[in-house]
């Protein structure tokens, strides 16, 4: 068990170091030597977990979706809001998320290591489909089409927030996104009960730190596309 825990810690250290280098320098300029120096691990330890720089980039991308701050809600649309609002709080402070944004936007690199966007699309699609089953979403709404629209708007707001405010206003921008999008897809009964305040993400993160360990398990979406090859999100170790 101790050896397994060390392996988990080593892998996480390598992912965080790689993410820091990728976020600062981009994929092409990042070097294994600098990642090793940041992670403070041996070359053998790094290559035990990741066989190449491409595999390291895929590791960073695969670490984007965790269930650390997700909790079941009566309204599935609130679960969707909570995911986005907690991301808005975490992105400016989480180098792995920041690196995932950089890597996913790397047009040349995506052929080598992929992108986080397909996994996010599947997740948002599943949440909207679940909400539609519960009667929270208007009958004419197509879950996947809506998910792709929301993802596109979300990515655009990330770049605007970075350009204009160095990410500081991302929670406010996320709240604005939902203020305009949700009335177009949600039923009136669901809409009036949704909390989209700018501080929603911070409150959810604080709440997640108070929940019992038994409540941290994440239920996989029931509407995962069969064509998706990306692993389902799992709670992060520790």
Percent of the residues in the chain that have a pLDDT greater than 90, as a whole number? 71
Unique residue bearing structure tokens 């996989």: 220
pLDDT of residue 216: 31
Domains of the chain: 2-62 (1.10.10.60), 76-215 (1.10.357.10)
pTM, two decimals, is 0.81
Give Cα 74 distance to the centre of its chain: 22
141: closest CA among 186, 93, 87, 205? 186
pLDDT of residue 77: 98
Task: Collect all residues with Cβ–Cβ distance below 8 Å to 193 and sequence separation of at least 6.
Answer: 75, 78
- Phi/psi for 34 (5° steps) reads -70, -35
Cα-Cα-Cα-Cα torsion 19, 160, 152, 201, nearest 10 degrees, comes to 70
Give buried/exposed letters for 195-219 (b at 16+ CB in 10 A, else e). Answer: bbebebbbebbeebeeeeeeeeebe
Give Cα 202 distance to the centre of its chain: 16
pLDDT band at 6 (very low <50, low <70, confident <90, very high): confident
Provide the token pair at 34: 């600098």
When mean pLDDT is compared across 10-14, 53-57, 166-170, 210-214, the lowest value belongs to 210-214
Provide the token pair at 225: 């596309």
Distance separating alpha carbons of residues 193 and 77, to the nearest angstrom: 10
Kindly report, residue by residue over 81-134, the tens digit of the pLDDT: 999 999 999 998 999 999 998 898 888 777 888 888 999 999 999 999 999 999
Longest alpha-carbon distance in the chain: 57
pLDDT band at 211 (very low <50, low <70, confident <90, very high): low
Distance separating alpha carbons of residues 77 and 136, to the nearest angstrom: 7
Alpha helices in 52-210 (DSSP H): 53-62, 76-90, 95-104, 110-113, 117-133, 143-165, 170-185, 188-191, 200-208
Provide the token pair at 37: 């120096």
pLDDT band at 69 (very low <50, low <70, confident <90, very high): confident
Kindly report, residue by residue over 159-188, the tens digit of the pLDDT: 999 999 999 999 999 999 999 999 999 999
**Given a cut of 60, is residue 31 above it in pLDDT?**
yes
Provide the token pair at 162: 């970075």
DSSP state of 197: -
Mean pLDDT value across the chain: 86
Kindly report the number of other CB atoms within 10 A of residue 103's CB atom. 26
Distance separating alpha carbons of residues 33 and 43, to the nearest angstrom: 9
**Given a cut of 70, is residue 219 above it in pLDDT?**
no
Provide the token pair at 151: 């993802």
């Amino acid at each position: 068990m101790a050896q397994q825990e060390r392996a988990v810690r080593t892998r996480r250290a390598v992912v965080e170091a790689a993410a820091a280098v990728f976020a600062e320098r981009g994929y092409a300029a990042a070097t294994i030597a600098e990642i090793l120096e940041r992670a403070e691990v041996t070359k053998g330890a790094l290559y035990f977990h990741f066989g190449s720089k491409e595999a390291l980039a895929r590791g960073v991308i695969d670490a984007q979706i965790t269930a650390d701050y997700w909790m079941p809600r009566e309204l599935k649309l609130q679960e969707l809001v909570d995911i986005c609002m907690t991301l808005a709080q975490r992105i400016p402070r989480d180098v792995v998320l920041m690196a995932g944004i950089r890597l996913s936007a790397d047009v040349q690199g995506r052929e080598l290591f992929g992108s986080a966007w397909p996994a996010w699309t599947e997740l948002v699609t599943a949440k909207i489909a679940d909400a539609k089953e519960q009667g929270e979403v208007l009958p004419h709404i197509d879950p996947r089409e809506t998910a792709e629209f929301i993802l596109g708007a979300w990515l655009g707001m990330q770049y605007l927030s970075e350009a204009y405010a160095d990410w500081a206003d991302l929670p406010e921008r996320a709240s604005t996104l939902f203020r305009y999008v949700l009335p177009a897809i949600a039923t009136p009964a669901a809409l009036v009960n949704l909390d989209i305040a700018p501080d929603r993400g911070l409150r959810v993160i604080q709440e997640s730190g108070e929940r019992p360990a038994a409540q941290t398990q994440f239920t996989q979406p029931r509407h995962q596309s069969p064509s998706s090859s990306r692993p389902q999100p799992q709670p992060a170790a520790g």
